[in-house]
Copies of this chain bind each other. A is one copy, B any other.
Amino acid sequence: MNSPREPQPDGCKPDAAPVLCRECEARHRGICGVLTHEELATFHQHAIQKSYPKGTALLSIGDVPEFHANVLQGVVKLSKTLQDGRQQIVGLQFAPDFLGRAWGEESPVSAETATEVRLCSFPRDLVERMMSTIHRLEHRVFEQVLLQLDLARDWILTLGQKAASEKVASFLLLIATHHDPIASATRQGGPTTFELPLSRGDIADFLGLKLETVSRQFSKLRELDVIRIEHSRTVTVLNRARLLELSGP
């Protein structure tokens, strides 16, 4: 894939990477994974790591963002709104997703933290300069965007064709998969427990439903012993196979 003249990324080598990057998920699975130690050092020099409390508006529609960022922890909601206020969440970003449009145009979506979120931010012009210099980096971001497109289209299928019960089941699987990709992939039966990163209202905005409908579907799943709910936000998937069936795939 890399042309012979291109330097190889150093992501796997023992380690001369900046200390803060060594433990970072973005360095391995995220876009920093394609950088050499030297490039990573440059990048890191201008990076700011910071936490944002739940509910922070990171970006509004039409803003020209000053920073791009890696999501290190937590979940960011991307959303769009109609003039009368109806809101739709059009995407969720988890670690180690790269946040921010590739080019500096106006953002077509607004971004808000759904949970407490930790970001590693870079000045926009630095990212853009490095993307145009380091072909590998642009390529990597390209791949991420392609993945986002696939996810968006999957969600279009869910929004357009599935019933409320199927939508809620699909959502739970989405979160469960992000929480524990291994158990989900190997389809081990053991129950998984996780915190929902979204409120009922947010889930409704994500699924194109009303929050009462979401709540009713949660209750139904609980009555079927497919899930258990504690404190409204802590969910245990008791029967993943059944949940998968109910998601109507």
Asked if A102 and B146 sit within 8 Å, CB to CB, the answer is yes
Asked if A154 and B80 sit within 8 Å, CB to CB, the answer is yes
Nearest CB of B to A61, in Å: 11
- Tell me whether A51 is interfacial, beta carbon within 8 Å: no
Asked if A156 and B157 sit within 8 Å, CB to CB, the answer is no
CA distance A108 to B101 in the complex (A): 23
Max count, chain B CB within 10 A of own CB: residue among A108, A150, A156, A207 = A156
- Tell me whether A109 is interfacial, beta carbon within 8 Å: yes
CA distance A115 to B186 in the complex (A): 42
Nearest CB of B to A174, in Å: 14
Taking CB as reference atom, which chain B residue is nearest A154? B80
Contact partner, A159, options B86, B143, B148, B208, Cβ 8 Å: B208
A interface, CB within 8 angstroms of B: 1, 3, 78, 80, 82-84, 86-88, 90-91, 101-103, 108-109, 132, 135, 138-139, 142-143, 145-146, 148-150, 152-157, 159-162, 205-208, 248-249
With A83-B248, A108-B153 already in contact, 14 other A-B pairs whose C-beta atoms are closer than 8 Å? A1-B132, A3-B132, A82-B162, A86-B161, A103-B143, A108-B150, A135-B135, A145-B146, A145-B149, A149-B149, A152-B152, A155-B156, A156-B156, A159-B208
What are 22 contact pairs spanning A and B, CB under 8 A?
A: A1-B132, A80-B153, A80-B156, A82-B248, A84-B248, A86-B161, A88-B156, A88-B161, A90-B157, A91-B153, A102-B146, A108-B150, A108-B154, A138-B138, A138-B139, A138-B142, A152-B152, A152-B153, A155-B156, A159-B159, A159-B160, A160-B207
